[in-house]
Amino acid sequence: MKISVVQNILEANQRIAEENRQRFSAHRILAINLMSSPGAGKTSLLERTIQALKGEYQIGVVEGDIQSTYDAERIGKTGAAVVQINTGGACHLDSNMVREALPSLEIQNLDLLFIENVGNLVCPAEFNLGENFKVMILSVAEGDDKPLKYPLMFHESRVLLINKIDLLPFCDCSLGLIEERALQINPQLKIFHLSCRTGEGLKDWVGWLRGQVQKGKDLPS
Ligand code: MG
Ligand code: ZN
């Protein structure tokens, strides 16, 4: 019995995700579902990325948190359009929450939409929100065993951003091992090393992302 309930939830989620996807595509928006454990640097990455691209693109952010508007306030200071979702205890975003948030963003004006998921390495990977692709952040302080313990997140992501590389001298963490283990799960994974604190490595990520936004714009209508 329990199995069929879970099945129904995921099917309903998939249906609404497909509607979201069609809306993003109709407006030629690149939508990214950003996932990580709490404290890995999702909001810091968004601040840096928005600073780098705001002169070129209209950017919107859906902020998902269990409670508070703290992150939405941080993003608001960058000048990007932002809406906060409070899940009220739920540990991931689903496609219906994202659909409900979209009217606050005037999405017809956007080129790029970031959906910052709830900090959690587990179930956010199970829920399609209608995004073009998922990006995950892993900070070196979390350790190089994470691909072994949370493989689904690495499997579902298109991009792995390894953050806080400025802390490498203080952590028993091997970049090589993270990469090797992550690529074993997902050989297609695109990997960048960066530090949102120092700015190191951000150029490569931003350059790649610019290419992805442009690719969507260049498609024939
Ligand atoms: Mg955050
Ligand atoms: Zn959850």
pLDDT per residue over 61-108, tens digit each? 999 999 999 999 999 999 999 999 999 999 999 999 999 999 999 999
* Residue 16, C-beta contacts closer than 8 angstroms, at least 6 positions apart: 94, 95, 96, 99, 130
Please say whether the beta carbons of 116 and 42 come within 8 A. Answer: yes
pLDDT of residue 219: 76
> What is the Å distance from ligand 1's center to 116 Cα?
7
How many A from CA of 38 to the centre of ligand 1? 7
Both tokens of 42, joined, read 């999702």
| Cα 33 to ligand 2 centroid, rounded to whole Å | 15
Structure tokens at 201: 């490595």
Q: Which two tokens stand for residue 137?
A: 């952040």
Kindly report, residue by residue over 161-220, the tens digit of the pLDDT: 999 999 999 999 999 999 999 999 999 999 999 999 999 999 999 999 999 999 988 877
- Give pTM, 2 decimals: 0.95
Q: Which listed ligand is nearest to 89 at the C-alpha?
A: 2
What is the C-alpha to C-alpha distance for residues 64 and 61, in angstroms, rounded to an integer? 10
Which ligand places an atom closest to the C-alpha of 97? 2
- Which among 5, 79, 71 has a CA at the least distance from the CA of 36? 71
Report CA(217)–ligand 1 centroid distance (Å).
28
Q: Closest-lying ligand to the alpha carbon of 63?
A: 1
Cα(213) to centroid of ligand 1, in Å?
Answer: 23
Please give the structure tokens belonging to residue 168.
Answer: 């490498």
Q: Please give the distance, rounded to the nearest whole angstrom, from the Cα atom of residue 100 to the centre of ligand 2.
A: 18
CA distance 42 to 196: 9
Read off the pLDDT band of 221 (50, 70, 90).
low
User: How many CA atoms lie within 13 Å of 5's alpha carbon, on the beta-carbon side?
Assistant: 2
Question: What radius of gyration, in Å, describes the C-alpha atoms of the chain?
Answer: 17
Dist. CA 71 → ligand 1 center (Å):
5
- Spacing, Cα 150 to ligand 2 middle (Å): 14
| 204 CA distance to ligand 1 middle (Å) | 22
Which pLDDT belongs to residue 2? 65
* Predicted confidence (pLDDT) per residue in 116-158, tens digit: 999 999 999 999 999 999 999 999 999 999 999 999 999 999 9
The SS3 of residue 167 is helix
Question: What's the rounded Cα separation, in Å, for the pair 145 and 150?
Answer: 9
Q: Taking ligand 2, which is a single-atom ion, which protein residues have CB atoms under 5 Å away?
A: 91-92, 123
Contact 160/189 with Cβ under 8 angstroms? yes
CA of residue 91 to ligand 2 center, whole Å: 4
Query: Measured in angstroms, how far is the CA atom of residue 80 from the centroid of ligand 1?
Result: 15
How far apart, in whole angstroms, are the C-alpha atoms of residue 168 and residue 95?
A: 36
The per-residue b/e assignment along 178-217, b for 16 or more CB within 10 angstroms, e otherwise, is bbebbeebbeebebbbbbbeeeebbeebbeebeebbeebe
How many whole angstroms from 58 Cα to the centroid of ligand 1?
Answer: 20
Residue 92: name the closest of 69, 138, 125, 141 by CA: 125
- Tens-place pLDDT, residues 25-70: 999 999 999 999 999 999 999 999 999 999 999 999 999 999 999 9
